[in-house]
Amino acid sequence: MTLGFTMVLLSACKKPAEPQAAPVAPAAGKPPVTAAKAEKPALPPLFRDIERRTFQFFWDTSNELNGLTPDRYPSRPFASIASVGFALTAYPIGIENGWVSRTQAVERTLLTLQFFRDLPQGPQREGNAGYKGFYYHFLDMQTGLRYGTWVELSSVDTSLLMMGVLFAQSYYDRDDPREKEIREIAEQLYRRVDWNWMAKRKPLVSMGWHPEQGFIEADWKGYNEAMFLYVLGLGSPTHPLSDDAWTVWTRTYDESWGVYEGQEYLATGPAFWNQYSAAWIDFRGIQDEYMRNRGIDYFENNRRAAYAQRAYAIENPMKWKDYGENVWGLTASDGPQNTTQEYRGEQRKFRGYSERGAGLHSNFDDGTIAPTAAIASLPFAPEIVIPATEEMHERYGEYLYSSYGFLDAFNRSFEYDIPLKRGRIVPGEGWVSTDYIGIDQGPILAMIANYRNGFVWNVMKKNAHIRKGLLRAGFTGGWLAAKEPEARPTPDEAADPKEAEARAIGTAESRANSATVPEAVDPAPDTKPE
């Protein structure tokens, strides 16, 4: 079946989602109240196709000899340890849907964990994949060693890897020698991460370390994607963070709490800040002290964030092409180019790979929409995500939807005849990425699975380390109140470069590097980070 015919068929099968009222910000002085939820909208056939194609990204592009997953494809300059974490989560989703056999997934997972276990670690600049249990952000796709001297030992990307490792530990629970070995190696990998060493300015955790310069000066402070980092650090049985780590982490939340686009929430900008931790952790009904005082949970917070992004697109203050109620989604993604061009009589700044967002903090908008920003919000606000996904597929699918689902991003307003570092200009349609990015593909797949039956969440609830980390962070209520974690559910539906260019891509995508240099995004190919 051709791709064009598939898209026509899927469009014909669309079923509109039931409308649902947006959450409303509470009146001043009153605690926020969670909006009443309507009946769960059914997913149209398009989402099954997105799932299958997105799963195939991880299965097809990962190195069959060592399990490493590329940061992006087809560029594929190097492996991303965060992409590996999402790949380890993707394989069981493939099992549950009948896309791969359990035997195949066990073999791939065991190979991956064995490879990471055996990679050399040490403080030397070269010849290692990591140090103190942490791994370098980008690794050579073949050798697994640090890709270059500009690559940092990354605390958050190691954490994304470990979320996948612990997910595998909990999923492969059979009395089989290979599954037992998966569980044992997962434990070894997690136990050797020295969170206290990375907490240079205790109790906060540094964004990373270079053997050339030492610890990165920026620490992980709330509110952003690093919630899972502190959960992992607090849950460690060998090198745990101190008891006050979560309290200090949340101490800066008030800088982000406020009313934005009619919603009262932690109004940070990029969508992935709300999605990464929630891809594995079910925040419905569990609260830490901060959220108890606010009267909501993180799930409701993330729901409001999705509605705020949509409201921003409807308002469209910068007058970008096509923004509206069903075309929205700002997150970290590819973009057309680092350049300043005239748009509607004004000088506008555009970026290549960069964080984009709409909120009280971390705002940047150059007209670039990333489908993952909306799709990975599916569990939070299906009534607005489903129509957005369908409309982006219907309107732009001819050039935006391909072998592995949605390409990373597009910009209908960027039609300038200038050299591009990545992506292409579609005549009359604007710029579109030509790559898939692993850390944007992963949340799409995990969140669709969570919406269908809570699959990823329920597997992770069985993991004692995650449970311990949440409890030490002060979370109570909901599923944490149960004596035993919930069992894994059954499916609810039938299965059906160059070195310079690579360095530029990697530096742009490294949040740790950009944290210390304002707007250090997508540098020129001949710019080597110091």
Average pLDDT of the residues of the chain:
89
Tokens of residue 21, six digits? 């009222």
Tell me, rounded to whole angstroms, the distance of Cα 376 from its chain centroid.
8
pLDDT of 493 > 50? The answer is no
CA-wise closest residue to 247 among 278, 202, 207, 206? 202
Q: What is the C-alpha to C-alpha distance for residues 495 and 485, in angstroms, rounded to an integer?
A: 26
- State the pLDDT at residue 511: 52
Judge whether 84 and 139 are in contact, CB under 8 Å: no
Q: What is the pLDDT of residue 222?
A: 83
Output the pLDDT for position 71. 98
Phi, psi of 284, deg, nearest 5: -70, 120
* Separation between Cα atoms, residue 472 and residue 243, nearest integer Å: 7
Q: What are phi and psi of 19, to 5 degrees?
A: -70, 150
Q: Span 168-187, mean pLDDT?
A: 98
Interval 447-467 mean pLDDT = 98
Give yes or no for residue 116 having a pLDDT over 70.
yes
SS (H, E, C) 109-143: HHHHHHHHHHCCECCCCCCCCEECCEEECEECCCC
Specify whether the backbone of 22 is left (phi greater than 0), alpha (psi in -120 to 50) or beta. beta
Supply the pLDDT for residue 526. Answer: 31
Q: At what angle do helices 227-235 and 272-280 cross, to 10 degrees?
A: 30
Two structure tokens written together for 262: 């009619």
CB atoms within 10 A of CB 53: 21
Q: What is the structure's pLDDT at 63?
A: 98
Helix (H) or strand (E) holding 6: helix 3-12
Encoded tokens for 345: 């009589």
Q: Is the pLDDT of residue 45 over 70?
A: yes
Segment 356-385 mean pLDDT: 96
DSSP for 256-315, written as a single string:
TEEEETTEEEE-BS-THHHHHHHHHS--TT-B-HHHHHHTS-HHHHHHHHHHHHHHHHHH
Q: Count the neighbouring beta carbons within 10 Å of the beta carbon of residue 180.
A: 13
Tell me the mean pLDDT in the region 457-479. 98
Asked if the model's pLDDT at residue 10 lies above 70, the reply is: no
Tell me the per-residue pLDDT of 241-283, one tens digit each, with 9 for 90 and over.
999 999 999 998 988 999 999 999 999 999 999 999 999 999 9
| Tally of CA atoms within 13 A in the half-sphere of 363 that contains its CB | 12
Residue 513 in tokens:
């590097």
* pLDDT tens sequence across 292-344: 999 999 999 999 999 999 999 999 999 999 999 999 999 999 999 999 999 99
The β-bridge relationship of strands 332-333 and 354-355 is: antiparallel
- Amino acid at site 286: I
Which tokens in the block code for residue 435?
Answer: 């790559």
pLDDT at residue 505 tops 90: no
> Of 331, 279, 283, which Cα lies nearest the Cα of 309?
331
Residue 481: burial class (beta carbons within 10 Å; 0-12, 13-18, 19+): exposed
What proportion of the chain, given as a percentage, has pLDDT over 90?
A: 81
For residue 431, the tally of other CB atoms under 10 A from its CB is 25
454 pLDDT higher than 70: yes
pLDDT tens for each residue of 62-113: 999 999 999 999 998 899 999 999 999 999 999 999 999 999 999 999 999 9
User: What is the sign of the dihedral through the CA atoms of 120, 239, 446 and 510?
Assistant: negative
Q: What is the pLDDT of residue 515?
A: 47
Reply yes or no on whether the pLDDT at 502 is more than 90. no
Residue 287: strand pairing partners: 476
pLDDT score, position 39: 85
What are the beta bridge partners of residue 312? none
Q: Taking 50 as the threshold, does the pLDDT of residue 525 lie above it?
A: no
Pick the range with the lowest mean pLDDT from 172-176, 423-427, 478-482: 478-482
The DSSP bridge partners found for residue 136 are 153
Nearest CA among 410, 400, 387, 414 for reference residue 325? 387
Q: What is the pLDDT of residues 19-33, one digit of tens each?
A: 445 555 443 333 443
Q: Is 426 exposed, middle or buried (0-12, 13-18, 19+ CB in 10 A)?
A: middle
Task: Give bridge partners of residue 431 from the DSSP assignment.
Answer: 411, 425
**Position 471, amino acid:** L
Alpha carbon distance 310, 384 (integer Å) = 8
The predicted structure's pLDDT at residue 29: 38
pLDDT value for 361: 80
Give the pLDDT band (50/70/90) at residue 145.
very high
